[in-house]
């Protein structure tokens, strides 16, 4: 909701400060937005505020029930993945008195397949079912919430396509501002966006777990920045293989280190 509030304020602040300047966006009016427009925006599956969105003519209730039904099934499947595949590995983090390289590597490999299952089910449940369900319920016509990130042949394409909802917000309110700030330096602006995105994800995780670490910042921010700097224009099948290889590793390493952090904070006697 913070991102939505920021978008609403940004799009309406200019109407108050400079009411004579008309927006070039046809979906933004020169008048201050009404409360019903803000209320619709709060539930719409987008983070970029517009006074008018493309709308469908009718609500297909069968699609609504189908999407939310699949969300329910996905939630049950995620519970089983966590309870029967993740928790036994996490239990070792809480009970092992000494960490060794073999135990760390074994735990990471044990988390890879469950991590992929968790990601695929969660991704489909949220980005496809949940967002499409709300889009259909609100007659929201723009249903491009993700693209075929699994076919990405460059790091930039991957980051742009796997979460278009957040990417649009970052592009409109962060990237464009940084372009102006850095006098059109696209490379530096893109690197800053990657770091900002990592910090934003870390902030969300700190709300969930109640503590702030640097796992997301290091793994996604620094690694993502490294890829952008070293291989800015690299494309091809090799990049797709690298992305598909790094994804399961990331889905194992990140939760494992969070489990270690929780263990160190709440079970210090085992360390």
How many whole angstroms separate alpha carbon 145 and alpha carbon 46? 9
pLDDT band at 9 (very low <50, low <70, confident <90, very high): confident
Bridge partners of 55, per DSSP, are: 140
For helices 237-266 and 186-209, angle between their N-to-C axes, nearest 10 degrees: 40
- Asked if pLDDT for residue 221 goes beyond 70, the answer is no
Per-residue pLDDT averaged across 206-215, rounded?
A: 78
Q: Give the bridge partners for 140, in sequence order.
A: 55
**Per-residue tokens: 44:** 């719409």
The 10s digit of each residue's pLDDT in 147-187 is: 888 888 877 788 788 889 999 999 888 898 899 888 888 87
Tokens of 146: 């993700």
**Helix axes of 61-81 and 101-123: crossing angle, nearest 10 degrees:** 170
d(CA 239, CA 230): 13
Q: Is residue 216 pLDDT above 90, yes or no? A: no
Compare 17 and 265 and report the one with higher pLDDT. 265
CA distance 265 to 271: 10
**End-to-end CA separation in angstroms for the chain:** 38
Mean residue pLDDT across the chain: 82
pLDDT of residue 17: 67
Q: Residue 114: which H helix or E strand, with range?
A: helix 101-123
Question: Is the pTM here over 0.95, yes or no?
Answer: no
d(CA 107, CA 244): 20
- Of 213 and 122, the structure prediction assigns the larger pLDDT to 122
**How far apart are the C-alpha atoms of 233 and 50, rounded to whole Å?**
33
Q: Which of 22, 16, 9, 13 is closest to 49 using CA atoms?
A: 9
* pLDDT for 32 beyond 70: no
Confidence label for 118 from pLDDT (cuts 50, 70 and 90): very high
Residues 154 and 242 sit within 8 Å (Cβ to Cβ): no
Query: Is 167 an active-site residue?
Result: no
Sketch the domain layout of the chain as residue ranges. Answer: 2-43
Q: Which residue has the higher pLDDT, 137 or 189?
A: 137
- Could you please report the per-residue DSSP string of 23-57? -S-TTS-SSPPPHHHHHHHHHSS-SS--S---B-S
- The number of beta carbons lying within 10 Å of the beta carbon of residue 90 is 19
Q: Which of 6, 167, 201, 233 is catalytic?
A: 201
Closest CA to 142 of 169, 165, 172, 166: 165
Q: What would the pLDDT profile of 55-103 be if each residue is shown by its tens digit? A: 999 999 999 999 999 999 999 999 999 999 888 888 887 776 677 788 8
């Amino acid at each position: 909701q913070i991102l939505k509030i920021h978008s609403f304020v940004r799009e309406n602040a200019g109407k108050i400060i400079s009411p004579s300047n008309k927006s070039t966006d046809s979906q933004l009016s020169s008048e201050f937005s009404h409360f019903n427009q803000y209320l619709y925006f709060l539930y719409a599956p987008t983070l970029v505020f517009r006074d008018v969105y493309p709308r469908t003519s009718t609500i297909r209730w069968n699609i609504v029930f189908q999407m939310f039904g699949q969300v329910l099934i996905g939630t049950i499947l995620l519970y089983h993945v966590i309870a029967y595949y993740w928790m036994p590995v996490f239990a070792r983090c809480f009970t092992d008195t000494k960490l060794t390289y073999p135990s760390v590597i074994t735990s990471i490999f044990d988390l890879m397949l469950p991590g992929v299952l968790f990601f695929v089910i969660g991704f489909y449940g949220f980005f496809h079912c949940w967002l499409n369900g709300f889009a259909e319920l609100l007659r929201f016509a723009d249903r491009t919430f993700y693209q075929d990130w699994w076919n990405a042949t460059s790091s930039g394409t991957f980051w742009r396509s796997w979460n278009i909802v957040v990417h649009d917000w970052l592009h409109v309110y962060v990237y464009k501002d940084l372009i102006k700030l850095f006098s059109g330096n696209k490379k530096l602006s893109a690197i800053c966006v990657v770091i900002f995105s990592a910090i934003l994800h870390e902030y969300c995780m700190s709300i969930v777990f109640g503590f702030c670490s640097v796992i997301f910042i290091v793994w996604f921010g620094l690694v993502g920045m490294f890829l952008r700097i070293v291989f800015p224009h690299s494309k091809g099948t090799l990049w797709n293989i690298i992305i598909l290889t790094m994804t399961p590793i990331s889905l194992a390493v990140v939760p494992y280190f969070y489990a270690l952090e929780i263990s160190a904070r709440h079970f210090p006697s085992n360390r």
